[in-house]
Amino acid sequence: MKIRLNKFIAICGIVSRRKADELIKQGRVTVNGEIVEKLGIKVDPEKDIVEVDGKKISYKENLIYLVLYKPKGYIVSLRDPFNRPKVMDLLPDFKERIFPVGRLDYDSEGILLLTNDGELAYRLTHPRYKVERVYRVEVKGIPSPEKLEKLEKGIPLYGKRTAPSKVKLIAKKGKKALLEIKLYEGRKRQVKLMFLAIGHPVLSLKRISFGGITIKGLKPGEWRHLNKKEIKVLKKNVSLLD
């Protein structure tokens, strides 16, 4: 059965489908020795030889799924020109190439998923699948019910209104407030910008759940493999199970 080239690259755990398209545009992908010059072509995984940067790729039999409690002061990136601590520094050297699912700011903490399952990673971060992310947020001041309702309905961000969310005031701490917010999309610095838009800058941010997976039992910097039940939950959330 033939499948789209970008999907095959993602399934092999190289990069997401979106980034696979970028590799194709850059002329870094060949099929049967020929550089691919246009997007959308299909390949037969059992017959065609696909190479990225001159290296043959194939389905990964050993798929890895990890959950990490990202501490503050680490960047979610494979490389950093400023030589700051990276989340990958907290993990052992796996034979397989694993990568973070989505992002979490340098000064934020909480759950981060990592895998070499490119198709799952792509779907978990695509807004179409509405994967739930839950954050505990401490902000300056006490937001009024009207402001929280405004957040829930959506506010303009990057030229597009944010998707509906759920916000709950957990506690008032003097001139600060602790809240919980549930989002179904993950734009860059979204939580911080949303609260800034209603006049309550974020003082600290912790993601406590992603797609139903939590960091329960983990301390900052610790990680573990997801169990079969958790993997099934993630795949079911993004329609990867029959």
- Alpha carbon distance 217, 84 (integer Å): 27
Cβ atoms within 10 Å, residue 145:
9
Q: Among residues 21, 48, 105, 107, which one is catalytic?
A: 105
Name the residue type at position 193. Answer: L
End-to-end CA distance of the chain: 17
**Helix, strand, or coil (residue 239):** coil
Q: Which DSSP symbol is given to 104?
A: -
- Alpha carbon distance 210, 15 (integer Å): 20
| 105 is annotated as an active-site residue | yes
Helix (H) or strand (E) holding 206: strand 202-210
List the catalytic residues: 105
